[in-house]
């Protein structure tokens, strides 16, 4: 079931909210658990049992980690939880990738498993492992109730595309949380804004990307427009989902951490990754990079740590070499920045550092998008050809009439996208709210705006086609 669907918006969600606020607090988690299982079962009937068993495995491992605390048994339980957790990812997500590589290297003909990837498996696996690791480290308390733990893992607002919610961040709220009309109101507003990002901006920009990629009248400008459109598309698609998850969380009394902070205004690649998909970045930092020694080791080991983390970051996004190359590209840029480039950039006018950052981010998204195509490698040849065109090496004209036609047709969407990807409107509204009259007008117009946006989105959904979130693939 999609957040951006009529069944969810007008049947599932109203019923769940109604039941949730009718029942006493001690029953609310059970309402959320049942609703979350039904939500997942709607689209993943066969794999719901995998998620349930994975959750129970994480809970049982937690029991043993706590039972044998201070003894070797606790470490054995932790290692076992890591093995079981990653085993699911290896079987469903990486088995065919590994087998294809083995067949290619050794000339064997081992049959592929060809298993469908359970939606959200990367997200809920990481959440379970974060609980077990934090419990072992003493940063989290044991959750004795298996149903409460399963509520945490399966919580439908963020189940299938994040953000990655750590147990320590919602530990208190699972047992005791506050509900208020203000939180529900804020949650509804945040949800509608995220929904609008997805349906009105991300999906429209995706249509432009498809036009550009299938055009037989390519130009340098058209390919740059495609790269920009894809960057905006993936941002509004994923940040829109995160907004919806955060908004839904607020409706049910949870305060999920932010996952995006206007990444396209960054002045370096280092800053970009502090602002993009923050829950994933912090997960790899805390559970892989720092345990490997972080930057408090020799330069050789530090280089290894960077490469390992970014190779894993690439593989997390997909079992294809294109994603590994995408991750290692960022590793190389980050190493160069840490070595000398970031100091140089800081001495230059801001405009140069922003152009540098956006240039490499756009190049990276071209590789990333190609990773969604093709077989084990992703369509790297296509990615390289697109980058050549962007650099003027593809033997195509700088601009064509078709390019200008589509740019005129999508100009409004691009302008809205540029503005929406920056904090410009947010800062303007905050500035206006400092004046009493303007604050009253904004407070009056805000709910009206949300209603209008919901009506427009509904019209698009009734008239539109199925468009899944990009990060469902991961």
DSSP states along 243-302: HHHHHHHHHTT--PPP----GGG-SSHHHHHHHSSHHHHHHHIIIIITTTTTTSS-HHHH
Q: Helical H runs in 397-468?
A: 401-409, 411-420, 424-432, 436-463
Task: Determine the pLDDT at residue 465.
Answer: 58
Which of 177, 211, 245 corresponds to the end of one domain?
A: 177
> Could you give the number of structural domains in the chain?
2
Whether residues 247 and 269 fall in one domain: yes
Question: Which is the catalytic residue, given 61, 233, 277, 317?
Answer: 317
Residue 471 gets which letter from DSSP? G
Residue 25 lies in a domain: yes
- Examine the domain organization and report whether 167 and 266 are in the same domain: no
Is the same domain home to 146 and 246?
A: no
Q: What is the pLDDT of residue 280?
A: 93
Q: What does the pLDDT read at residue 288?
A: 95
Give me the pLDDT at residue 405, please.
95
Tell me whether residue 317 is one of the annotated catalytic residues. Answer: yes
Domain end: 122, 148, 177, which one?
Answer: 177
Report residues of the chain scoring pLDDT below 70: 374-378, 465-474
**408 in the same domain as 337:** yes
Would you list the DSSP string of 24-77?
Answer: -HHHHHHHHHHHHHHHHHHH-TTTHHHHHHHHHHHHHHHHHHHHTTTSHHHHHH
Asked whether residue 34 is domain-assigned, the answer is yes
Domain termination residue (choose one: 159, 177, 195): 177
Q: Domain check: are 270 and 384 in the same one?
A: yes
Listed residue (321, 238, 253, 316) closest to 281, CA to CA: 316
For the stretch 216-238, what's the b/e string if a residue is b when 16 or more beta carbons lie within 10 angstroms of its beta carbon? eebbbbbbbbbbbbbbbbbbbbb
Structure tokens at 176: 């005791």
Q: Please check whether residue 306 lies inside any domain of the structure.
A: yes
pLDDT confidence of residue 329: 96
Q: 413-429 pLDDT, tens per residue?
A: 999 999 999 999 999 99
Residue 435, token pair as written in the block: 């004046």
Give the model's pLDDT for residue 377.
Answer: 62
Q: Domain check: are 157 and 258 in the same one? A: no
173 and 289 inside one domain: no
The answer on 101 and 36 residing in a single domain is: yes
Residue labelled with tokens 């009253």: 440
369 within domain boundaries: yes
**1 is a domain residue:** no
Per-residue pLDDT at 467: 61
Are 299 and 341 members of one domain?
A: yes
pLDDT attached to residue 309: 95
User: On the CB side of 404, how many CA atoms lie within 13 Å of its CA?
Assistant: 5
Give the domain extent around 200: 183-473
């Amino acid at each position: 079931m999609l957040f951006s669907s009529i069944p969810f918006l007008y049947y599932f969600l109203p019923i769940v909210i109604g039941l949730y606020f009718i029942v006493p607090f001690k029953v609310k988690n059970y309402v959320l658990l049942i609703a979350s299982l039904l939500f997942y079962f709607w689209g993943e009937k066969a794999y719901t049992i995998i998620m349930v068993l994975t959750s129970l495995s994480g809970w049982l491992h937690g029991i043993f980690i706590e039972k044998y605390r201070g003894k070797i048994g606790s470490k054995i339980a932790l290692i076992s939880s890591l093995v079981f957790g990653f085993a699911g990812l290896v079987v469903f997500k990486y088995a065919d990738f590994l087998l294809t590589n083995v067949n290619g290297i050794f000339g064997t003909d081992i049959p592929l498993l060809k298993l469908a990837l359970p939606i959200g498996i990367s997200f809920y696996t990481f959440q379970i492992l974060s609980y077990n690791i934090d419990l072992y480290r003493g940063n989290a308390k044991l959750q004795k109730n298996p149903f409460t733990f399963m509520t945490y893992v399966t919580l439908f607002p963020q189940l299938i595309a994040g953000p990655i919610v750590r147990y320590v961040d919602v530990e208190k709220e699972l047992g005791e949380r506050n509900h208020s009309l203000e939180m529900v109101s804020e949650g509804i507003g945040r949800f509608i804004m995220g929904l609008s990002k997805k349906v009105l901006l991300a999906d429209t920009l995706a249509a432009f990307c498809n036009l550009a990629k299938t055009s037989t009248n390519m130009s340098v400008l058209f390919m740059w427009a495609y790269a920009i459109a894809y960057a905006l598309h993936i941002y509004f698609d994923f940040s829109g989902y995160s907004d919806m998850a955060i908004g839904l969380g607020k409706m049910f009394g949870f305060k999920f951490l932010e996952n995006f902070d206007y990444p396209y205004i960054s002045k370096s690649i280092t800053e970009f990754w502090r602002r993009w998909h923050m829950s994933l970045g912090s997960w790899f930092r805390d559970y892989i990079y720092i345990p490997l020694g972080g930057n408090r080791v020799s330069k050789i080991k530090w280089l290894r740590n960077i490469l390992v983390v970014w190779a894993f970051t690439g593989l997390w996004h997909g079992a294809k070499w294109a994603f590994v190359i995408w991750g290692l590209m960022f590793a190389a840029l980050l190493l160069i920045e840490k070595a000398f480039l970031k100091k140089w950039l800081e001495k230059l006018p801001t405009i140069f550092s922003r152009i540098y950052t956006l240039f490499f981010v756009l190049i990276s998204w071209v590789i990333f998008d190609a990773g969604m195509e093709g077989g084990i490698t992703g369509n790297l040849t296509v990615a390289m050809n697109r980058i050549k065109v962007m650099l003027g090496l593809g033997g195509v004209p700088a601009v064509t009439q078709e390019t200008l036609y589509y740019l005129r047709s999508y100009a409004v969407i691009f302008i809205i996208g540029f503005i929406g990807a920056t904090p410009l409107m947010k800062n303007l509204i905050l500035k206006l709210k400092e004046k009493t009259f303007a604050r009253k007008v904004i407070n009056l117009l805000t709910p009206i705006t949300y209603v209008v946006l919901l009506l427009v989105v509904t019209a698009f959904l009734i008239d539109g086609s199925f468009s899944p979130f990009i990060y469902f693939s991961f």
